[in-house]
Structure 1
């Protein structure tokens, strides 16, 4: 079995401070083989916020993998956003904006979906899609981790990132097995699977630490891969309670390389 923890949208600078220690306790207690953070480590991409985010990440005891989100580049300082959008991220988090992780049978490819010219929307380019599909390993579970989701439910009022429909079609065709994303602060797992299953499963994380009251809750997920089976533990901390509830469990299984809810 290989265990992955998925965090997203920490938003240091607008973080729920009282949840930092409970979150770290649960993440470290999971003893993951890899912790994946899909962007928005900070709220406004400021130096102090990156320092706090980096200090938090250093306390995670498992190997760490992160990609930037749109909140991790400057919003109001337009010159910085155009000329050096990742200066603080590279300094405090990682020089590599599209890392690759390999643990057990899992291969995780990071994609930087941030578009400095369209701050919120994001994009995935044809070159990025090719990099992902050219590196697929048939004997692995191939995972893509990025900030912006590839699909959205109809009620979402944010614009879908540029290139997303093309990426869904290509990734499905070439054999991407799983996509991890964040951005919307709304949990979704298996929402885009048809009844007969699909080759690619998408898991969209809620926000792990953002204190925005309209989010109603914070959460993260633990993913256990065991042969053809995937067990997801969803850990939820409602805003009106001091910590995390008992985890909720979801199961998926793959038959002939097609995911189905179990």
Structure 2
């Protein structure tokens, strides 16, 4: 089993500073195998904001896999936006815009969906889709295959205030061919976990789609600051959402879901009362104890 911490939409430049220290401490207590950040590290892609984000990442456990978001592209500096949209991201966060993490149990591939010609929307291109397909296909069927983007390939059924990433449909078809299991994203500042079968009719295939809320920003959209803790193993993934409790100055378990794979499709498993809490990060209202989510 692997423990993956999923953070998103940090938005340094517009954060709740009281969250940073407790968040770092609790992530260390969880002893993750990988920390994933799915974009929007800054509010306006300024050097000072990237430096703050860099200090935050340096305080977190390694290894890490990070991808940029649309807020990491300059908004008002048109020359930088068009000619070097991710120059500061590359300088302060990382040169690799298609990062890959690989161990004995999982492969995680990051895809850059940020584009200079749009304000908030994102897109993937054919080259990115094909490269990701080849990398995941080469990993073998015994591996859990994870894709990380800022903009989502799917969202739960219901009102949508953000569009899906451009070329989502051909991308999902390619992901079906290589057996992608889990899609992690952010952008919408609300958390969710569901099967892609709700919105994609791909015979014999579905992926588990997990959204993270904003971990540190004051730009909430009706949901408290939160992050995800995923317990990942072959054919089963548990998704725990930890939400910020201002009075306690800590994150507490807000929701847990478990999904199981049958064939090449993912299904939510009905929870027994308190199921998953003993093996999860924490009971509601309590601190995540050190190591309880570790594999």
TM superposition score category, shorter chain reference: over 0.9
Q: Which residue of 2 aligns with 1:131?
A: 131
Q: Which residue of 1 aligns with 2:143?
A: 140
**Unaligned residue ranges in structure 2 (runs of 5+):** 270-295
CA contact (8 A) 1:197 1:260 kept: no
The whole-number CA distance in structure 1 between the counterparts of 2:40 and 2:198 is 30
The whole-number CA distance in structure 1 between the counterparts of 2:16 and 2:245 is 11
Q: Which residue of 2 aligns with 1:122?
A: 122
Q: Once structures 1 and 2 are overlaid, which stretch shifts more, 15-24 or 135-144?
A: 135-144
The whole-number CA distance in structure 2 between the counterparts of 1:166 and 1:94 is 28
Displacement, 1:170?
2.1
Equivalent residue of 2:184, what SS?
A: strand
Are residue 200 (structure 1) and residue 207 (structure 2) matched?
yes
Q: Which residue of 1 aligns with 2:110?
A: 110
CA contact (8 A) 1:102 1:108 kept: yes
Deviations 1:194-233 (A, max 9, x none): 4998431111111111112544411111111233221222
Are residue 183 (structure 1) and residue 187 (structure 2) matched?
yes
Equivalent residue of 2:252, what SS?
A: coil
Displacement, 1:172?
2.0
The whole-number CA distance in structure 2 between the counterparts of 1:16 and 1:106 is 33
Q: Once structures 1 and 2 are overlaid, which stretch shifts more, 207-216 or 141-150?
A: 207-216
Q: Once structures 1 and 2 are overlaid, which stretch shifts more, 252-261 or 107-116?
A: 252-261
CA contact (8 A) 1:213 1:239 kept: no
Matches within 5 A, 1:36-185: 36-136=36-136, 137-138=139-140, 139-152=142-155, 153-185=157-189
Equivalent residue of 2:225, what SS?
A: strand
CA contact (8 A) 1:251 1:261 kept: yes
CA contact (8 A) 1:2 1:103 kept: no
Deviations 1:68-111 (A, max 9, x none): 00001100111100111111111110011110001331100110
Q: Which residue of 2 aligns with 1:237?
A: 244
The whole-number CA distance in structure 2 between the counterparts of 1:163 and 1:38 is 18
Equivalent residue of 2:40, what SS?
A: coil
The TM-score with structure 1 as length reference comes to 0.93
Displacement, 1:177?
1.1
Displacement, 1:252?
0.9
The whole-number CA distance in structure 1 between the counterparts of 2:11 and 2:121 is 17
Deviations 1:32-80 (A, max 9, x none): 1110100000111000000000000000123111000000110011110
Are residue 253 (structure 1) and residue 273 (structure 2) matched?
no
Q: How many residues align?
A: 262
**Unaligned residue ranges in structure 1 (runs of 5+):** none
Equivalent residue of 1:217, what SS?
A: coil
